[in-house]
């Protein structure tokens, strides 16, 4: 898709007016974050018309009251229900309730810079892409959040994809959040509501299969607020890994090898436990220490790898964050890997009965 197709759904009208932008956001239990995210949308410097649609799932932390207050305060903020409580269903509900030709996906943990919509629309028009995305710039405030943020932006943590570590502008396999041409989005059927995580990747796969272009630009930088506790981090990455395993099973030829690193790690760790038990049994009957030494070799090497990463990347945020980085990285890897195995082999009922947010 070249420059010649840069007009159309995003093109300015005959009077030179900019196309309207619809911001869509699925929300579930995000009371501490959602107001700040919405206020960033209200502060956009984009000169075209815009509206904000928030699809709220049944929440238990006061989120619905916060959204109701926002809707009362701002006439262009609309709240719609998301009874299915999944990200995909919420996004679709918000998209259907909005009408402008540009659809910009927003997350409650994301803080968009003032020029985000301006850059997104300009890039869509300039490139003729179906979807444009940029960098997720994770920023924490506590030492734990800083460690999580550093892991996000490190090749050690999440594998070094463009939308985490940056790269050259151009066509991409997928994009963070996403700014879409509504007509292209509707032509491929919106988000697949059977996919509870990884729905961006799956949608972008269909856009590309239909002949469209997904475009990465480092000019779009979104501040992301990472999880603040081990428990929430485990839940996040277990669900992410589980759905990535499901997507790999569904579309085996469309996945990067990096997706297999965490489950391979988990399998190797399980193997070391088995070897360790063999080694202990051998000691009891007077055999050599060979199996026991072999069992310790891989965990020690992995721990050394994590410590070196903490001393290089993790130390940039101070000693307290560095120590937490040593815990955060294995937590991400193991949670993601265990989830992947469960999703790939369909071992978890969560694939079909829960939202996985």
8-33 confidence digits (pLDDT tens): 455 554 446 899 999 999 999 999 98
Q: Among 72-81, 227-236, 277-286, 325-334, name the one with the lowest average pLDDT.
A: 277-286
Lowest-confidence segment of 19-33, 93-107, 139-153 by average pLDDT: 139-153
Question: Which range among 172-181, 198-207, 251-260 shows the weakest confidence by mean pLDDT?
Answer: 251-260
* pLDDT of 355: 39
CA dihedral 244, 184, 27, 251 (to 10 degrees): -10
Residue 79 has pLDDT above 50, yes or no: yes
Average pLDDT over residues 176-195: 94
- On whether the 3-228 domain is CATH 3.90.550.10, my answer is yes
Q: Would you call 230 helix, strand, or coil by DSSP?
A: helix
Write the CB contacts of 28 (distance below 8 Å, at least 6 apart in sequence).
Answer: 56, 57, 58, 59, 63, 82, 85, 90, 355, 357
pLDDT of residue 313: 77
What is the band of 97 on the pLDDT scale with cuts at 50, 70, 90?
very high
Q: Any idea which of 32-36, 117-121, 171-175, 275-279 has the lowest mean pLDDT?
A: 275-279
Residue 11 near residue 101 (C-beta atoms within 8 A): no
CA angle 329, 331, 333 (to 5 degrees): 70
CA angle 110, 134, 52 (to 5 degrees): 45
Q: What is the DSSP letter of 54?
A: E
- Mean pLDDT of the residues in the chain: 86
The label of the residue with tokens 């589980």 reads 242
Mean pLDDT score, 209-225:
92
Domain coordinates in residue numbering, the chain:
3-228, 253-353
Length of the chain (residues): 357
The whole-number pLDDT of residue 354 equals 43
Radius of gyration of the chain (CA): 22
Q: Please report the pLDDT score of residue 223 as a whole number.
A: 85
The residue among 96 and 11 whose pLDDT is bigger is: 96
The set of residues, in sequence order, having a beta carbon less than 8 Å from that of 179 and lying 6+ positions away, is 102, 103, 104, 105, 117, 120, 121, 123, 124, 131, 132, 133, 220
Residue 261 — pLDDT band, cuts 50, 70, 90? Answer: confident
Average confidence (pLDDT) over 35-63: 95
Pick the residue with more confidence: 211 or 249?
A: 211
Asked if 332 contacts 258 with a C-beta cutoff of 8 angstroms, the reply is no
Q: State the pLDDT at residue 350.
A: 58
- Look at residue 61 and tell me whether its pLDDT is greater than 60: yes
Mean pLDDT of 150-158: 82
Contacts of 84 (CB under 8 A, 6+ apart): 57, 90, 193, 355
The pTM for the full model equals 0.80
Give the helix/strand (H/E) hosting 209.
Answer: helix 199-209
- Say what the pLDDT of residue 284 is: 62
- Please say whether the beta carbons of 91 and 55 come within 8 A: yes
Per-residue pLDDT band at 348 (split at 50, 70, 90)? low
The predicted structure's pLDDT at residue 344? 87
pLDDT, residue 160, reads 63
Contact 58, 130 (CB under 8 A): no
> Which has more confidence, 73 or 356?
73
Lowest mean pLDDT, pick from 73-87, 122-136, 153-167, 199-213: 153-167
pLDDT of res. 2: 38
């Amino acid at each position: 898709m070249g420059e010649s197709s840069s007009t159309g759904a995003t093109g300015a009208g005959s009077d030179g007016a900019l196309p309207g932008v619809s911001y869509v956001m699925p929300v579930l239990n995000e009371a501490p974050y959602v107001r700040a995210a919405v206020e960033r949308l209200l502060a956009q410097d984009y000169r075209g018309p815009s509206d904000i649609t928030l699809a709220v799932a049944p929440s238990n932390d006061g989120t619905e009251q916060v959204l109701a207050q926002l809707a009362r305060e701002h006439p262009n903020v609309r709240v719609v229900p998301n009874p299915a409580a999944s990200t995909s269903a919420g996004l679709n509900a918000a998209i259907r309730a909005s009408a402008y030709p540009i659809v910009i996906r927003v997350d409650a943990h994301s803080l968009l810079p003032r020029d985000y919509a301006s850059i997104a629309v300009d890039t869509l028009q300039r490139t003729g892409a179906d979807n444009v995305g940029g960098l997720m710039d994770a920023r924490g405030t506590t030492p734990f959040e800083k460690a999580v943020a550093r892991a996000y932006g490190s090749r050690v943590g999440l594998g070094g994809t463009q939308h985490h570590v940056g790269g050259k502008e151009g066509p991409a396999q997928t994009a963070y959040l996403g700014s879409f041409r509504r007509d292209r989005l509707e032509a491929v059927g919106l988000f697949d509501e059977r996919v509870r995580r990884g729905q961006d990747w799956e949608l972008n796969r269909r856009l590309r299969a239909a002949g469209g272009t997904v475009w990465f630009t480092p000019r779009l930088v979104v501040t992301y607020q990472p999880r603040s506790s081990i428990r929430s981090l485990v839940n996040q990455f277990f669900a992410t890994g589980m759905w990535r395993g499901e997507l790999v099973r569904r579309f085996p030829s469309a996945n990067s090898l990096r997706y297999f690193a965490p489950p391979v790690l988990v399998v190797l760790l399980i193997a070391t436990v088995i070897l360790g038990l063999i080694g202990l049994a051998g000691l009891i009957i007077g055999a050599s220490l060979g199996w026991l030494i072999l069992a310790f070799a891989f965990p020690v090497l992995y721990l050394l790898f994590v410590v070196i990463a903490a001393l290089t990347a993790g130390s940039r945020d101070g000693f307290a964050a560095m120590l937490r980085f040593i815990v955060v990285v294995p937590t991400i890897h193991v949670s993601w890997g265990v989830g992947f195995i469960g999703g790939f082999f369909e071992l978890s009922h969560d694939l079909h009965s829960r939202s996985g947010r």
